Amino acid sequence: MTISSSMNAGVAGLNANATRLATIADNIANSATYGYKRSVAEFAALVIDGPGPGAFAAGGVRASTSRMVDQRGSLVSSANPTDLAIEGRGFLPVTALTAVDAELRPLSLVTTGSFRPDANGILRTETGQVLMGWPANADGSMGLFPREAASGLQPIRIPTNQLVGNPTTRMALGVNLPASATAAGADGTPIDMSVEYFGNLGEAERLTFTFTPTVPGIGSSNAWTVEIRDSASGGAVIGEYELTFDSSAASGGTLASVTVVSGGAYNPATGEIALTTGAGPLALSVGTIGGRGGLSQFAAAFQPTAITKNGSPVANLSSIEVDAQGNLNAIYDTGFSRRLYQIPVVDVANPNGLAAENGQAFRVTNESGAFLLWDAGTGPTGRIQGYSREESATDVAGELTRLIQTQRAYSSNAKVIQTVDEMLQETTNIKR
């Protein structure tokens, strides 16, 4: 019994070291594979009760393998904006290309990937992993999506070769009106100013502002009337407002009041007028009461100091980029950008409990725990890095060292088997 247990222990040692050799071979073979996680073989001793008092039976050894998913490789830069990696903890959500149009899509997790649009605009890797994210609204805002389920995630499609319009929805006026124009004896000549904006179809329209000073008999009124006409409304007046300005030492030159004669309401908290143009609603910022910026009245010439607005004419997609928060932004040739998707970062309680799939992907198991979707860079998760790939977590020098150790251990177990065979031969020779 004791001799045979020695034989069995030697065989178990050979099998265990052969398993360890397989993990080492896999690690070395994938030393240049982006996103690869090391496989390791752990040995555990087996104990067998002896046949009687004072007797010992060799139990041998058992090997178990696992993958060190929580070990990360170094990040290296690339030239592709949608080469993605995570700086820290977490995974990118992907699905199989064959499941893009399916109602239920299997969720897989990767720590890095080189994603590029295919002929259908789907952002995918060469191995068929499709990047998934939450779709943004038409204006780039994000809705509410479940964090504990993948039902809100969609395959990311890039709208290549499509024209888009970017309507103007906000405009801010920074204009100085001459204080001398509201003094007694001024000629009261109106001042006209035209500002271009863009409609829902990308067409260029125009708002015309006519500032008419109120000229008193004596002193200064510090008052103006502004009339706003809209080319998209056939040149009709869409708003008329009476403006007064402060002349005190503390707040001189700032707005004192805005009175609506016709048109949208003025919000004193935000300093915005809600205009309704022929191309849609437009928030016009003229400044808050007593605030700096916006409309002002100083003893200087009429001067537009700052006019800003969003929107642009019809544009073509120029490029796409992913920021650290996981926002996938489309950049157009007219200079504006718009968020198309937000890519969440997936986290599980036990990354090493994930099941490995082909292509350095993983799937959730009972051992890993349930997943949760985070905004990149929040909670325990790291930020998403564009123009980056994660290198293999394999340390070739360390693997070669373990290879030498495994070879010696295998040879030693083979020597045990050889010795047992010689001892059994000696037992056989007793009969002669």
Which pLDDT tens digit goes with each residue over 219-236? 999 999 999 999 999 999
pLDDT band for position 1 (50/70/90)? low
For residues 335-340, average pLDDT: 87
DSSP state of 112: E
CATH class of 168-310: mainly beta
Of the candidates 27, 24, 36, 63, the residue with the CA atom closest to the CA atom of residue 392:
36
Which pLDDT tens digit goes with each residue over 197-216? 998 888 899 999 999 999 99
Give 388's strand partners: 77
Which pLDDT tens digit goes with each residue over 182-198? 999 999 999 999 999 99
Cα separation, 27 vs 25, whole angstroms: 5
Which pLDDT tens digit goes with each residue over 37-53? 999 999 999 888 766 67
Q: What are phi and psi of 12, to 5 degrees?
A: -65, -40
Cα separation, 230 vs 236, whole angstroms: 6
Domain boundaries of the chain, sorted by first residue:
2-68+393-429, 75-161+320-390, 168-310
